[in-house]
A and B are shown apart, each in its own frame.
Chain A
Amino acid sequence: MRLPEYGVGRRPAQRAFIAITRRLGAEVDDVGKVSLRRPGFFGRPFLALTQLSLRGRSAWSVGERELFAAVVSQANACSFCIGTHGAIAGSALGRPVDDDWRDGRFGVRATAAARFVDILTRDPASVDDDDVAAVRAAGVDDAALAEAVYVAFAFNTVNRVADALGFRHPSEGARLRGARFLRLNGYRIPGFLMR
């Protein structure tokens, strides 16, 4: 973390929360820490969007939406976010998210939508009607594709913040425990900590 003050919490309750999660072996990650540090400016609205887009009711399963998050993270070369969301998608969908994710292992619909957010992330100016037609041909309606676009919005934001500020997983074990925790519990932090 390139902003050391942002890694430790601002208020005593936040510092205690970080210490407790560390002792439990599932330390709140750097996205959680900067959210605690700047709850009004960033944390509350960002985590609300993330929770809604990745865990709210949807045309997509949790695993499929985590796949979109991982694909966007891969397009942005954000190893921190790939490490978390690739692991969540892989465990939820029962297949690994690697460089060959386009090979059909995630089904026609999810693969088509993932291709769309991949292109949108790499070259937004190039996205056109043909890209949308390809997704529709796979059986994805526009409302479902719009949901994937909002996942891409959240992750195009956080990928850049994570890479610019040097977010890291403290260890492989912590990365995998964190992914398991987020798969089960989502992206909420108790409100009294987010003031």
Chain B
Amino acid sequence: MHPGARQELLAAAARRLLEAVLESPAVTPADLRRAAFDGDLDRHTAEPVTSYVAKVRDHAHRVTDADIAALRDDGLSDDAIFELTVAAALGAAHRRLVAGLAVLDRGGAP
């Protein structure tokens, strides 16, 4: 398989994941998932969701049981917590995908 064709397959698989998480029908509104993905929640929601999303994006290994309990106390269901977690995680990962591919494009062919 030509390397370019393989990269197109990877790009298509990445797009399908982004579409599923950001656009498919779910418990949380799509605009809230998009905000968690972008790390720009202030206009959409308040604590404890904003802090949780920032933690997932920036240092997820520091999330504790208490963080999840605070989301439940705030009325979030397990489905909502899962969706916001995945959206935040995917956003942080996508930032790295874009950065990695951009520097390759800028560098041109070897």
* Chain A contact residues, CB within 8 Å of chain B: 2-6, 34, 37-38, 40-42, 44-46, 48-49, 52-53, 56-59, 76-79, 116-117, 120-121, 124-125, 127-129, 131-133, 136, 141-147, 149-150, 152-166
Task: Knowing A142-B109, A143-B4, A150-B10 are in contact, say whether A128-B103 is a contact too (CB < 8 A).
Answer: yes
B20, A45: Cβ atoms closer than 8 Å: yes
Residues on B with C-beta less than 8 A from A124 are 95-96, 99-100
What CA separation (Å) do A160 and B90 show in the bound complex? 9
What CA separation (Å) do A3 and B82 show in the bound complex? 8
Flag whether B81 is at the interface (Cβ < 8 A).
Answer: yes
Which of A6, A127, A161: most chain B Cβ within 10 A? A161
Residues on B with C-beta less than 8 A from A141 are 3, 110
Q: Mark B69-90, 1 if CB is under 8 A from A, else 0.
A: 0000000001101110110111
- The interface size bin for chain B is 35 or more
Task: Knowing A146-B101, A157-B89 are in contact, say whether A6-B96 is a contact too (CB < 8 A).
Answer: no
Residues on A with C-beta less than 8 A from B4 are 143
Q: Mark B51-81, 1 if CB is under 8 A from A, else 0.
A: 0000111011101010010000000001101
